[in-house]
Structure 1
Amino acid sequence: MGKRETSSFGPIHVRTRGGSRADRLEIFFDLVFVFAFFSIARTASTHITGWGLFEALLALMLLWRAWCSHTLVANRVQPGEGGAPVVMFAAMAVVFVFALAIPGAFGARRGEVSEPLLIAGCYAGIRVLHLMLFWISAAGTRLKGRLFRMARPMIVAVALLVCAAILPAYLPDSLRDPTRIALWFAAVGAEYGVYCRSRGSGS
């Protein structure tokens, strides 16, 4: 197993060469993500309909995008060293709350918006914390341009999730679910469209 070499930008230790061992904090964070994935599966199992399964798929794709953001940062910084653990534990707490809010992610039939808004806020929190670590670790490199490309679709996605939480409450019952699903689909599309394009171009 290779030894990891690091450099430091203030309180953040940056990896300059990758090794094959995962930090204990990374493993613990992965377990929190596993809990969130399990929460989505458990919620889908209690609402096995076409809409219910599609909602679960959208939530799964959003969580997967957050996990991809986490792995990107984990490959750049040492999560267990310097000031990174503070940010990582904060992100863990946000993912945990995200998992707890999953059963109400698409809103109660009577138009409550608290849990859908919590989902939007948690997703924003996860992504902002990871982007903040990436920003610090990218100091003095050309990666900051990539950071801006990553932030734009996240902002759009969060705005759409907020709309999906609030707007359906003001619509007739027959339009609530289709509108909510459409806005979630647009949010996921905003994230994955840019992500897939950047992966295809190698940037």
Structure 2
Amino acid sequence: MEDATKPNNPRVSFTRMADGTREDYELLDRLEEEFAAGTADRVLTHLRELSGSLSGYQVDRLEHSLQSATRAYRDGADEEMVVAALLHDIDDLLAPHSHGKLAALLLRPYVTERTCWIVRHHGLFQYYYYAHHGGGDRNARDKYRNHPWYQDAVDFCHRWDQCAFDPDYDSLPLESFEPMVRRIFAREPFSLASREQA
């Protein structure tokens, strides 16, 4: 067991948050800031875990992610949107039925509300391509038809997501996107208190 008194393993004095001191919370703020600095590394590690996931498609989720990001990059999308295309399905392993919402929450502190909204809703917008085959409403996205980012979500899905299952596509390797991911997650987080929910 680690020694809590060692300088490299500082701990707070409390066992109930109500008993914490100013020094305790200053320590936690510093440790959280240090931990947050490693977010890009953890995101990239989790993205690599998509390799071999979700069988049935002609490519795995990692290749789909790389293909989506490569298409966005080659289409001239800005770096934030390229990273969004790379990470839009990152939470398939943990939340297969709500992965867009979870991916949007991951990105939310570091990207614009527009990008966050597109990632959050991309699953619904993807219904257009397949829902009717199972008796679903392929036009479910139309409930957002008057939303200012409706067409952006349509374009995201049409140009970079629904077409990114091609085993013969020459996707860029993950290493090509790592600097972009690191730059996005190195941004000063937007104030969450002043933003709408993702």
Instruction: Tell me the TM-score normalized by structure 2.
Output: 0.31
Which has the larger strand fraction? 1
Greater C-alpha radius of gyration: 2
Instruction: Tell me the TM-score normalized by structure 1.
Output: 0.30
